[in-house]
Amino acid sequence: MVGKRVKCTGCSLLCDDIIIKSDGLYVDEIYGACLKGKERFDQVVSKNRILSPYVRKNGDLVKIQLKEALNKCIEIIKKSSKPILYGFSTVSCQAQLKGIELAKKIDGFIDSNSTICLGKVLNTSKQTGMALTTISEVINKTDLLIFWGANVAESIPRLLNKALFSRGKFRMTGREIKTVIIIDPVKTASFGVMGVRDISLKIEPGKDLELIHFLKEQCCAPNTIPPKEIAGIDSDDLRRVLIQLTNTENGVIFIGQGIVNSTLNSNVIQELLELVQIINIKQQKGRMSVIMLGGHYNMAGFDQVALSMVGKNHSLQFDNNQLVETSDTIISKINNEDFDCSIIVGTDAVSHLPWKLSNKLTSKPLILIDNKKSATFSVADIVLPSAITGIECGGLAYRLDHVPIELDKIVNPPGNIISDEEILSQLIEGLKTT
């Protein structure tokens, strides 16, 4: 059995150097994948795999045929006047496109996981601009890596291996010339990679904005003597950070979920992006860039698809088959109970949302499209099983640095399960003919 090089959809890094051995039915051996990647491939034969459609009868989920399940979904959707669609971060861009088409057809509201994550950064960048970079640029050129509010050692396990330890085309030396700065209120597993030249900043919770203000004021002034302490960080470490920002040739700030939700002050992301701008204006030696660390493997894809279709990256409300302005998000929609049915695609919304919102979400008819059992599966009214994208069907996905990656089909899905894209297409066609 010959090994085959494939892409991994275990996380948003979408590693393309994974070697697998497969007979076309099962993935027999996996080489090079992290624990998250291996778990993704193991999902093919996992005990929590959804292998057939279900409908809730007398309080219990009962197996039915796909055609019957689709018809029942169409019945619910046709009776709905305020449907919401949510998820779409673990499906292909083609499925995301169909999801937006469905929302448009039924005058629904559609949002992705990005809206409560790094979609906030994209929205803010409309006012400030954003200096983006790619993983390839990081590997080949970067000498300073700043992880802000991101425990990448556990959330995106192979990122440190690629970005920190790789020897790039223009950096013939690797770890020995790269400096790492980790800014986090908690000592996470990522701190385990710290070396002598690296800087660990255990910031006080919610004080990110205070640190950013200081760096903006003193940026590129390494001879400045900082005050005794800022945001719980002593003056010696602050001085070292200023020196690194001044001397770096190519630096990158990895923006994690920790800083996105670190404070109720919505200006924190804007201030951080402005800091990057100031560094690039004053810095004569090199440049600073940012990379947003989304968790789900195609979280960036929904933003790209939505922007290309309607010019807005999330929180899309349709009326009379046209996009309309709204200040709502999926959170406000559920909290205000401004919906009468939901279509959840590729995410465990019940587990991810606070109990109060989950309780409201499950009070109305819920349709789930997914490939694995979850808390949302347990409370859904109709469940449609889907093939695993990147393993049992192909499609396009966007890596965390917004580089498009084409995913390939590796094995056939069990029981002729169809893809998320095909499920959504059949719902659209069913609504046309009924």
pLDDT in tens, 289-301: 999 998 899 999 9
Task: Give the domain ranges of the chain.
Answer: 50-114+298-433, 119-292
User: Mean pLDDT across the stretch 248-254?
Assistant: 92
Q: How far apart are CA 373 and CA 370, in angstroms?
A: 8
Q: What would the mean pLDDT of 77-88 be, rounded to a whole number? A: 96
Q: What is the pLDDT of residue 264?
A: 53
Pairwise CA distance, residues 224 & 363, whole Å: 58
Nearest CA among 325, 323, 293, 281 for reference residue 399? 293
Q: Note the pLDDT of residue 434.
A: 61
User: Cβ atoms within 10 A of the Cβ of 25, count?
Assistant: 10
Architecture of the domain made up of 119-292: 3-Layer(aba) Sandwich (3.40)
Q: How far apart are CA 271 and CA 279, in angstroms?
A: 12
Strand partners, 148: 183, 255
How many angstroms separate the CA atoms of 46 and 53, rounded? 17
Confidence of residue 217 (pLDDT cuts 50, 70, 90): confident
Nearest to 326 by CA among 80, 91, 84, 102: 84
Distance CA(49)–CA(392), nearest Å, equals: 13
pTM: 0.93
Q: Residue range 106-111: average pLDDT? A: 97
Residue 227, token pair as written in the block: 């005050």
Contact criterion met (CB below 8 Å) for 369 and 381: no
Report the percentage of the chain scoring pLDDT > 70. 96
Structure-model confidence comparison of residues 269 and 126, the more confident one: 269
DSSP secondary structure of 33-83:
--HHHHHHHHGGG-TTB--S-EEEETTEEEE--HHHHHHHHHHHHHH-SSE
**How far out from the chain centre does Cα 288 lie?**
22
Comparing 431 with 118, the larger pLDDT belongs to 431
Q: What is the CATH number of domain 50-114+298-433?
A: 3.40.50.740
Containing 109, the helix (H) or strand (E) segment is strand 109-112
145: pLDDT strictly greater than 90:
yes
User: How confident is the prediction for the chain on average, in pLDDT?
Assistant: 90
Q: Which of 30-44, 192-206, 274-288, 383-397 has the lowest mean pLDDT?
A: 274-288
- Evaluate if residue 209 carries a pLDDT over 70: yes
Pair of tokens at residue 109: 């509201």
The helix (H) or strand (E) run that includes residue 310 is: helix 299-310
Query: What values do phi and psi take at 339, rounded to 5?
Result: -165, 160
Q: Angle, to 10 degrees, between the axis of helix 268-282 and the axis of helix 119-128? A: 50
Concatenate the DSSP letters of all residues of 349-370 into one string. Answer: HHHHS-HHHHHHHTTS-EEEEE
Instruction: Tell me the pLDDT band of 206, cut-offs 50, 70 and 90.
Output: confident
Least confident piece of the model among 48-57, 196-205, 334-343 = 196-205
Burial class (CB in 10 A: 0-12, 13-18, 19+), 324: exposed
Task: Note the pLDDT of residue 168.
Answer: 74
Residue 224 has pLDDT above 70, yes or no: no
